[in-house]
């Protein structure tokens, strides 16, 4: 997801992704290599990705590259298919609305249905590294829970509110072949694509054939 212009458990359920954020993100990034970002129209963005089944050195290297790519593109979240890899994994380095930094990785994410009593919609602007230079308001629940696995295959759950909740929903969508513009009206989608056509990305992208 684009910015707007240790597996420690919390209680019995949610990981604490707010510990040692600077050190963890830097370690991943320094081991990794930034890759160019795929953009809307690239087939890998428009189909459901494959499940992660092997939690090995190859996956660890991919996660490192994803953190490096995310930082190079100045993003707050990145799904594997955004660097052309057909696997259900995303990374994030995102502030919540209280200014708390969250850093982590989720493999095979599943977004939980938000209970009716917590279903408050936030219609803030949303952007995407795969739709560079473009933004549009999009209503999403301001609370999200994603369940999946960490890079070692251990079951995890991540929760977020506000902007971080938006990030979790946005990145999970990517891995099922949905971009945020797919949730917009035809008129708003056309406007976003116009913004993209008129803009110049700040980072390297993969041209569509």
Which backbone phi and psi does 126 adopt, to 5 degrees? -130, 145
CB 1 within 8 A of CB 170: yes
The SS3 call for residue 66 is: helix
Cβ within 8 Å of residue 87, ≥6 positions away: 49, 50, 51, 52, 59, 62, 80, 81, 107
User: CA–CA separation, 177 vs 86, rounded Å?
Assistant: 10
CB 172 within 8 A of CB 157: no
Q: Is 171 a catalytic residue?
A: yes
Instruction: Name the active-site residue from 22, 171, 198, 204.
Output: 171
Cβ within 8 Å of residue 119, ≥6 positions away: 141
Active site residues: 171
């Amino acid at each position: 997801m684009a910015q707007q212009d240790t597996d420690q458990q919390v209680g019995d359920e949610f990981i604490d992704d707010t510990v040692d954020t600077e050190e963890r993100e830097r370690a991943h990034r320094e081991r990794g290599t930034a890759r160019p970002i795929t953009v809307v129209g690239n087939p890998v963005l428009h189909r459901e990705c494959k499940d992660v089944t092997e939690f090995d050195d190859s996956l660890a290297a991919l996660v490192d590259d994803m953190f490096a790519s995310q930082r190079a593109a100045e993003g707050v979240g990145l799904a594997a298919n955004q660097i052309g890899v057909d696997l259900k994994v995303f990374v994030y380095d995102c502030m919540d609305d209280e200014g708390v930094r969250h850093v982590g990785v989720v493999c095979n994410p599943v977004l939980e249905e938000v209970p009716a009593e917590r279903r408050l919609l936030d219609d803030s602007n949303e952007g995407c590294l795969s739709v560079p230079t473009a933004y549009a308001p999009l209503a999403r629940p301001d609370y999200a829970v994603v369940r999946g696995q960490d890079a070692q295959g251990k079951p995890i759950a991540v929760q977020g509110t506000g902007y971080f909740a938006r990030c979790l929903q946005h990145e999970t969508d990517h891995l099922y072949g949905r971009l945020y513009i797919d949730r917009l009206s035809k008129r708003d989608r056309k406007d976003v694509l116009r913004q993209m056509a008129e803009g110049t990305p700040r980072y390297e992208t993969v041209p569509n054939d």
